[in-house]
Structure formats: C-alpha cells, structure tokens
Structure 1
Amino acid sequence: MTANTVSTCDLRLDYGTTPVLKGIDIALPAGNTLALLGPSGCGKTTLLRLIAGLLAPSFGQVWIEEELVAGNGIFLPPEKRGLGMVFQDYALWPHLSVAGNVGFPLEMRKIGKAERDRRVIEALRRVELEHLANRSPGALSGGQQQRVAIARAIVAEPRIVLFDEPLSNLDRELRENMVGELASLIRQLGLTAIYVTHDQSEAFTLADQVAIMDHGLIAQLAAPEELIEAPASAKIAEFLRLGTVANMRRTATGWAFGSAQSDHALGPDAPFGHEAQVLISPHSLQACAPEQAVLTGAVKAVQFRDNAYLADIAVTEGADNLVLQIASNSRMRLGERIGLEIVSDCLRWFPAQAGQAP
C-alpha cells in the first residue's frame, strides 16, 4: 500500500438490522482529493466518520498511511489517527479567540507556547486571517469562521484532512469563492483530502476523483471529466443533470421514444421490441426547421447558463411528455416550434431500467 493514503476494504456499517454502508472500497493516493457526492442519506457522511474514527465499522478495514486503524479487532480513536477535520457547523469555541481556537489542537498535544504561537500565525496566514488572531469567533462573518476552522484543521500539519460539507452554511456567492480558494489551499499544502458534499459543482472543482454514493454503495468512482463523458448508468446521468434520459423501444425500422410512432435511426442494432434508455444531452441536439425534422417540439422554458442559453423543448410526437434540453447561442421564444436533429454519436445508451436519481 502506498504511503500517505486512505484506504478502505469492504467497509460496512449496520444500525441494528439495517445496513447503512454495504461494502465500500476506496484507495486514495497521497496528494489527491476524493469527493463523496450524493443526496442526504446516501452514506457519505457515515463513511467519513468511519475513516475519522467517530464510528466503528461493523465489518471491513480502514487503513491510514499503511497503518490499520479499524478492523480485525483494532480501533484507533480519532486523536490517534493524525487527521485534520473541518465540520459543517465550524465547531469553534466561543470563549476562545481566533488564535486560541486554531491553537487548541497543538495545546492538546502539549506543544510549547513559542512553537504553538508560530504555527498558529502561519496557519492563519495561509487562510489570510492573521490580522484577526485576537478577535472572538462571534465577531467574524460566516466565511471568516470557516477559514478559522480550516486553519485549525491544518495547524498540526496533518497529511490528511477530512471535510464534512464545510461550505453548506455559506451563501451561494461566498460558497463559490471559497471553493476555489479551498481547492488552491489543498493543492498548495500538498494535502490528501476527503470532501463530503451534496453540491456537484463543489465536488467537480475540488476533486481528482468523485465517488457518487447511492444507498450505502459507491455507484461510480471516477474523475469529474469521466463522470460527464461516461456516466455508468442512467441513474447517475440523471443525478448529475447531464441531460434527459429517455425510454426507447426498438421498432421494425429504428428506435421510438416511448409510445411515439416516429422512428429514428439513432443507436445500436437490437431485436424488435427491445427496450433501452438513452441520455440525450443539450449538446447532442441541433435546432433545424420543423418541416425538415422528424422530431419537433415547442419551447417550454429558457435559461442562461455557462455562456449559452438552455431551452426546454416539449416534444410533440406523443413521446410520453418527453422534454429535451438544447443549447443555443441565441434566446428562443417561449412557445416557438422548432425541429430537433439528434447527433447520434453524442448519445449514451444504457440497458432499460428504472431511471431514478440516486
């Protein structure tokens, strides 16, 4: 096992007879960031707590820097694992100054005052708060309090830092600014990090690898670009909002959307009556004149995102209330009828299944 990694092997946790984690295997190389992404209740925070030592596993192992810290009858408490942690609610002591909060972990390790003061100022400098060392946490903004929590996590110079939705209490604009700064700080310090979030943008900005969790399992673990280009299932594609997942049925002459009668030569060969699902992303559609198109629809909604307009098109060929999204450089008019040309090479096909987001 490579030094400076976090690894788990068949990690499980049961609450009574209810399985919460159902066998998690991860191996995080030194200097990388892993984001645990998923909705509430999927098990991501539970996994983080097992790695931190705040919970003991029902089965399986946790390794930190080549040392077994949980499993096989071994269980090291959090303070023996050499980790830094940043929590959602900051967990700052109101009766201590900013410097006192940051220095608290060093005080518990009985580090001398001179060395402690030096490390505290250095940690605060890294988060650009050294000028507020003597302030009370209650006098700081939410963003500043979060920076204090980050400084406290890194003051003991751990190689591994765990983040439990650290930005979720901040407003959107501040969160967007902080996530970039946090990513830069993690890389600058050469940290290995595990980051729990339900925010896709945060995960993709920060992480080298993203684990999408679903009901106590890792549904897919991959780099952000791979998740976008090659989601492992229709469920993951819908969760990541990559486009519309449509139910398809093989006819004698092509593929049909749901109960629609119009056939499209879109995808792979398959027997008559075969069913599948296909991810139709905004960039796999091109607008054309309605009279030239097999597939047409009416503009239902328009929004501006990422330097382009995204239009929701309600398909009119009886395709079971199918709504597709198309990217456009110009704003389409609500109610406008347009034709849709599908770029078949940009589609991603999946076996037929219940296409619900995790």
Structure 2
Amino acid sequence: MAALTIDDICCSYNGKAVLDGLSLRVESNEIMCLLGASGCGKTTLLKAVAGLLPVSGGDICINSRKVNGNGAAVVPEERNIGMIFQDYALFPHLNVAQNVAFGLQSKESNKAVIRTRVDEVLELVNLAGLGERYPHQLSGGQQQRVAIARALICRPQLMLLDEPFSNIDTQVRMRLISEIRSLLKEQGISAIFVTHSKEEAFAFADKLALFRQGHIEQVGRPQTLYQHPQTPFVADFLGQSNYVPATVHDSHSLQTPLGRIASLAAISAEPGSEGRLLLRPRQLLLSEAEQGNGRVLEQQFLGAHTRCLVECQGLTLEVSINEPLPAVANVQVTVAPHALTFFPDEAERRREVA
C-alpha cells in the first residue's frame, strides 16, 4: 500500500498556477525528497499534502484515505501527519517535555500516558534526561531533535520535513541526517523531505523527485538520477557536467573528439544521431604523458580530491583526481568504462519547444 498518492493536482497563488497536473507516489516506509531551486513548487506540494494550502484540482490520498479531491478536504489535524520545520517552531516559554507533549494533549487526557509517551520519544531522539531544559538551553541540533520528538509523539503515518537541516552547522548536519533517517526507518514512517541541497538529498532519501518550474523533471533513486539523468537540467542540477560533442557510431559506442568511446549499456539513439555526451569529472581519467592529448590548465586541492581543468582537443574539461599533477603537465585523457549518457540534439530541441 502506498503511503501517499498524489494524482494530477493543481495549486495556484493569486491566480497563477504553481502546480499544474502533478502526480507522485510515495511507498510505505519510503523517504521521498523533493529537490529543486527556490520557487519551483516543492514547498507548495508539501503544504498541499499537509492541508495548509487549498488544492484546485486532483486527488491526494494518505494510506489510501482521500484527503483532497471531489469535495473532500480533511483538516490538517485529522490527516495523522507529523511536520518538522526549518526554524524548529518551539515554544520558548515551555520546557522540552512540554513542547514535545503539546500535540498529544489535544488527543489524550491521561497525564500519565502523556508522560510515558514523552519519555519514549525523548529516548528515541537521544534527549533522555533533558525534559526540564528550555529551548534556549539547547544547541541547534538538540532543538531540532525536540521538534522531531514532538512530530513523532502522535505516531504519524506520514512525516513532512521542510528544509529541517538548513539552520544546523555542517558537522552536526550529516550526523543528524543519518540519525533521523534511521529513526524513520525503525519506526516504519514514510516521509517527504524538502530541500534545495543535493548533498542532503543524496544522504537522506530513498527516492528523489527533481522539481523544475512546478513539474517533476525526473523521479527515481538518487544514484539513478545522478548517473543516468534523462535531461541536461537534471545532470547539471545534481553535479558538475562536461559535455562533449558526439555522434552515435553504433548501439554501444560514440564517436567524439576524444576518439571512439564504448558504452557498457546500449545507446538509445540511431547510428548517425548527433548530440552531446555527458561526462562527470570522476568518469575522466588522467595519466602523465609527454605526447598526451591534453594539458593541465589549473588545479585546486579540495581535501578529498583535486579539481583539475584540462584542455583536450579544443575542449575544457573538469576532472576529479586523487593526487595533484605537476603544473602545466601534459596528460593523456581517457574515459572510464561506464554506461554512457547521450543527449541527442533533436530530443533536446523538442523538449525546449514543449
């Protein structure tokens, strides 16, 4: 059973369509990330799912229960969802335990039950023993854990997270991402996570929906979108891209200025088709060679790797290497074996017209 089904929904602001016929499915215990630039519609979709924004068309179902569409409009508090925000939204005059208990108090009158449940969720988010502290006495990471505990206390079927890590220091952020992901999986809670950071999306999500101007450009596993993007927009948004002019030689090779390059998977274009070959910096290999086909123009040491700009056959390519090369070195540029991503020119023109 799908945790969330969104079918052909439409939302507008001041008469202007933000989402127009958008559909998406989130499976049980799956974490779906909505990724995109500011203003692309991802937060609008989150608000529509939460019931905080009216839907002018289409259907939304949470665990097979219709909450929008055909006259249905279930109020947010009856959708059994949890929400975690960018700014934590904690009450400064309430202590941690009181903040966490706030949402449950309207559903449960037994104070002993509430106290027990508060203790349970504080233990889950590693805040046991901190119930008497106030928000200003906590670090940013601890405040976000309080917000998570508050969202968990009513045992939601679906968790909505709106850029929850953007106000947290980088060193703490990745640890918290790992903790929350593990927690959602252990509790069997499905989630939709909104961010504009591809690093957060890669680390947190099972699937990724990349937004562009109110529609989804591509949806799938993060590795699939990065390694096999369907459009140059997806390729460029998710990482550094090199584009090399190419012509399809046969079903498993392309002719390029770097020579003929073989593909480990079939190329879905007819022989003779012209277009561009996508090459990620890690898909290019360099070796020092006095009579090589390339020359190093610039290098930047970035800690985990070195960014290297190379001139090769009239192209400027960005290559990621482990160890720096001698300045202005001559190199041989080759392509690591992989399934090639080829964008035919005609396909791109049709997409632009559409």
TM-score (norm 2): 0.88
Identify the match of residue 317 of structure 2 among 323, 329, 346: 323
Cα distance, 1:251 vs. partner? 11
The alignment partner of 1:149 has SS state of helix
Cα distance, 1:121 vs. partner? 1.0
Contact 2:108 2:114 in 1 (8 A): no
Aligned pairs (5 A) from 1:183-198: 183-198=181-196
In structure 2, what residue type is equivalent to 1:264? Answer: G
Structure 2: unaligned runs, 5 residues or longer: none
For 1:111, the equivalent position in structure 2 comes to 109
For 2:242, the equivalent position in structure 1 comes to 245
For 1:347, the equivalent position in structure 2 comes to 340
The CA distance in 1 between the partners of 2:57 and 2:111, in whole Å, is: 42
Cα distance, 1:107 vs. partner? 1.0
For 2:87, the equivalent position in structure 1 comes to 89
In structure 1, what residue type is equivalent to 2:325? Answer: M
For 2:136, the equivalent position in structure 1 comes to 138
Contact 1:21 1:43 in 2 (8 A): yes
Cα distance, 1:32 vs. partner? 1.1
The two structures, once aligned, show a CA RMSD in angstroms of: 2.5
The CA distance in 2 between the partners of 1:206 and 1:251, in whole Å, is: 37
The alignment partner of 2:105 has SS state of helix
In structure 1, what residue type is equivalent to 2:260? Answer: A
Quick one: structure 1 residues 301 and 19, their matched pair in 2 at CA, closer, same or farther if it must change by over 3 Å?
farther
The alignment partner of 1:326 has SS state of strand
Contact 1:87 1:163 in 2 (8 A): yes
1:221 aligns with 2:215: no
The CA distance in 2 between the partners of 1:345 and 1:91, in whole Å, is: 46
- TM-superposition CA deviations, 1:315-344 (whole Å, max 9, x none): 25333xx2321333x222343332212346
Structure 1: unaligned runs, 5 residues or longer: 257-261
Contact 2:297 2:311 in 1 (8 A): no
Quick one: structure 1 residues 292 and 75, their matched pair in 2 at CA, closer, same or farther if it must change by over 3 Å?
same
In structure 2, what residue type is equivalent to 1:265? Answer: R
Contact 1:302 1:332 in 2 (8 A): no
The alignment partner of 1:211 has SS state of strand
Cα distance, 1:147 vs. partner? 0.4
- TM-superposition CA deviations, 1:20-61 (whole Å, max 9, x none): 112221121211111111121111111111100110112111
Contact 1:290 1:340 in 2 (8 A): no
1:265 aligns with 2:263: no
1:287 aligns with 2:286: yes
User: For this pair of structures, how many residues does the alignment match?
Assistant: 339
Between the aligned residues of both structures, percent identity stands at: 35
Contact 1:299 1:332 in 2 (8 A): no
Contact 2:242 2:281 in 1 (8 A): no
